[in-house]
Chains A and B, each alone.
Chain A
């Protein structure tokens, strides 16, 4: 079956995943259309991060199906590297390559993985670093940048691969409050540009503003989902209400 852009870019069907005895995902199903921005919220340990990591095959699933552009991720014959070229991921701890400068971090994967022309990649990388508002920091090593700056370089690094979808795994959770905003601005601009995004976050205000659809997870299940206005104004499930009461 050939995937066409009117079909879901990512679709999960009854995904199960355990780590040892701990059942982390208990039958999760969801669909993300091209250009959609979805936020996943929920208490710690509810399986949010695992869900994201399954989408780019960092974590293998036990049963169910994950389709990314029509390609089955839960297929032993899957070309994981090809999948990951289409799926960008940004982590809570930035995970930049500490021995390379900011510019080199952004340039590395397109050159090593996609074997693109170095000069062309450099032009794109400089543009991306400007886009995340870090001109002048191209030559800095990650250890010389603040957390928020590192995270924006990490976003630029993922974008340099020209992915079709970006996964954000609690990308502001490790940041100082004053640098959170810069990172959120960057993600908001990406979303406005039409990038498909799956965002795991604890920033409710951000989720309300940027998401087309908000998902709430608890205990390995997707409890409910709705457009943000509806979701925050009138959550249906008591667990969602309880969670939102605690943090808002």
Chain B
């Protein structure tokens, strides 16, 4: 099925009303906006998954007996929670990134870690720091007696965490987790600052070329509302699916 009639309709819209949505009727703009959109989605998906994994592992380490591990986790949380994400991104990309370069074939240094990867690492750890605290709060809300029951059945600390504590803590944490993940999805736009060709970045390129700033601003707003709306909807469905019959946390 061809979408050409739709593209043509946007061209007619431009010719009759002056609304200049080149991302629909101009094949070049369409391709780069789609790439930007996909890059954004890829960055969001990577960071969502990685930050939740960091949160789960970090919360487990926070309950560990090793003081050193607990201090390292605490240090990590303080560092990432107490500094602006944009500053972190610059720090990773320009400070750490400058040491991680190898010589390319033509004598020009090329970075080992791409700017997309730096953005993914930085944003995952940034949101992950909050997730650790969110999951820790959930773990602390699981009654101590539930853990004792698991222990008295011969569960090790790790197995009790995986099979009993985490499934309950996760349910308790979901509303707070939702908030943080929504925030994460929106924060992916700062990858713009290190030239990751995500949606905001390509939108900027397009409006520079086409002088259609108001149109592109509207497009960005609508696409972000849709993406965050999708996330909230999925999380809401998930929360309902995980609801335990007859269970109250009182």
Interface residues of A (CB under 8 A from B): 56, 58, 80-82, 84-85, 87-89, 91, 93, 95-99, 108-109, 112-114, 140-145, 154, 157-158, 161
Given contacts A141-B245, A143-B245, contact A99 B167 (CB under 8 A): yes
Closest 3 CB pairs of A and B: A143-B246, A95-B149, A109-B153
Contact present for A84 and B246 (CB under 8 Å): no
Contact present for A95 and B145 (CB under 8 Å): yes
Contact present for B149 and A56 (CB under 8 Å): no
Chain A residues near B5: list those with CB within 8 A: none
Instruction: Tally B residues with Cβ within 8 Å of A.
Output: 23
B151 to chain A, nearest CB (A): 7
Contact present for B244 and A89 (CB under 8 Å): no
How far apart are the CA atoms of A166 and B146 in the complex, in Å? 18
Chain B residues near A140: list those with CB within 8 A: 245
Answer whether residue B207 sits at the interface, using C-beta atoms and an 8 A cutoff.
no
Contact present for B246 and A112 (CB under 8 Å): no
B139 to chain A, nearest CB (A): 14
- Stretch in contact with the other chain, from B68-76, B156-164, B184-192: B156-164
Chain B residues near A87: list those with CB within 8 A: 152
Given contacts A58-B148, A91-B145, A112-B159, contact A158 B153 (CB under 8 A): yes
**Which residue of chain A has the shortest Cβ distance to B248 in the bound complex?**
A143
**Which residue of chain A has the shortest Cβ distance to B165 in the bound complex?**
A97
A197 to chain B, nearest CB (A): 15
A161 to chain B, nearest CB (A): 6
Contact present for B146 and A84 (CB under 8 Å): no
How far apart are the CA atoms of A145 and B246 in the complex, in Å? 8
Contact present for B154 and A89 (CB under 8 Å): no
Given contacts A58-B148, A97-B149, contact A144 B155 (CB under 8 A): no
Contact present for B152 and A141 (CB under 8 Å): no
**Which residue of chain B has the shortest Cβ distance to A81 in the bound complex?**
B154
Given contacts A97-B146, A99-B171, A108-B163, contact A89 B152 (CB under 8 A): yes
Chain B residues near A144: list those with CB within 8 A: 245-246
Answer whether residue B99 sits at the interface, using C-beta atoms and an 8 A cutoff.
no
CB within 8 A of B148: which of A91, A114, A142?
A91
Answer whether residue B168 sits at the interface, using C-beta atoms and an 8 A cutoff.
yes
CB within 8 A of A98: which of B156, B159, B168?
B168
Contact present for A161 and B148 (CB under 8 Å): no
